Structure 1
Amino acid sequence: MEKIRISIVSFINSMPFKYGLETSDYIIENSIISNDIPSECARKLIHDEADIGLVPVAAIPEIPSAEIISDYCLSSNGNVETVLLLSDVPVDRIERIYLDYHSRTSVKLVKILCRYYWRINPEFIPASENYEKNIQKTVAGLVIGDRAFKIGKQFGYQIDLSNEWIKFKNMPFVFAAWVSNKKIPKKYLIEFNKSIKKGTSEIDNVINSYSSKIISDAHLKSYLTESIRYELDDKKREAINVFLELAAKV
């Protein structure tokens, strides 16, 4: 069997997955693992530069032969902490929004919330590096990932998009899922999911292995056990479908 190419998100929320994969002898022997930002995970699967990826759900329709291959994901049942709309003013006064280039799902989510929940019509600006300095007055910015921990508190309004979605649709939100773009050998999938399950069930070991310099260990534990939810159940699969239907319209 050729080695399976895995693209995994390089953010803190993926630490349990990373730990599980890297402590599995089978996965290490039979895989090539790369650490990427979410949008790059999607690009690699779309262009067949990876076989399995932790993919932003908004990108799933663009992936050839896409199949969700695991009962684990990156999701939230409340505040997720790391997908924020940052602003100096309330939502109804926002005129422009810079869109974080790291993830397609969060970009689609903020557009959905603007149109269908907040009922505002701001100008959307594709962001480039260091766009955060432009967030001021009536100009807001979508910020995702570990950077949200660092800069979120600088702004008067930190709008958690996961929580806003839940208020809007009364269902959890799934940010990313494990997706393949081709048939993966059954033996490999069994070992893959076994390693993912191990990582999500050994959070203390994860923290000891990948201690973060961005937040304290206590905050890290609450983030990985409360803010982020890893199980992909039927209700979350339904939420993915609802999101994708709306995403196709914005």
Structure 2
Amino acid sequence: MENFAAPLAMLPIRSNVEHMLPEPTAPHSLGISGFKASKNTGGYRATSHINRRVTQSIFRAFDYAAEIGTPLNLYVVVNLHETDKKSTATIFADIRHRFRDWLYYIRRTKRDICLKPIYIYALENPRDEHPHANWAVHIPPELEGEFRRKLPMWIKRAQGVCGIHDCDVQPINPDYAKKLAKYIVKATDPLYLAHFYLTDEANDQGTIYGKRAGVSPSLGHAVRRDANFRPRRRTYWQRAA
């Protein structure tokens, strides 16, 4: 994994990941967390890739967040200890829910701060043994310390455990934001790797049950459309490689 924080020395995320990964878990089956756990009431759907529209939305969300003055400024890696009852997607959805509740509490108690959840994410499960989340999020500088303190508690409440290597938070250097975005979507559908200039980043990231990747509603297509946001050309992402 590469350094998206420091402009000179590349961050040794790749070397850290092996130490951050949990022990392999037992195989699971469709329908994790019960028949009604999935939106389609048919159990979670297994995916092996990020589809084209989601990859495109993640790229555009990075640019849109920067354009509106709330750039994605923290890169979070969370190891997810799934079980037969709680899938990776279920656990990470719980963590995001606690994150949103925290922002809502701040909005209610500090009326001079107007906050919305601003983030993108992708779930990975290399070798179908090490599920984790790549999460890029905007946190105002004055709240970063509190976010770092609360995140391990959210993780523990969502999955019952948060080891010392289960959570890593790093600042995102804006100069490396495009490189980070390409890294996060490295599991894009192989049919569209060339389209997004991802051939060099492409990597099998295993099977995920449930929603594999996405962007917060505050950065979604409807918001970008209503703001008349004009996405940058794909060659811009190519130059960022």
Q: TM-score, normalised by structure 1?
A: 0.25
Query: If each structure's strand is expressed as a fraction of its own residues, which one has the higher value?
Result: 1
Q: TM-score, normalised by structure 2?
A: 0.26
Query: If each structure's helix is expressed as a fraction of its own residues, which one has the higher value?
Result: 1
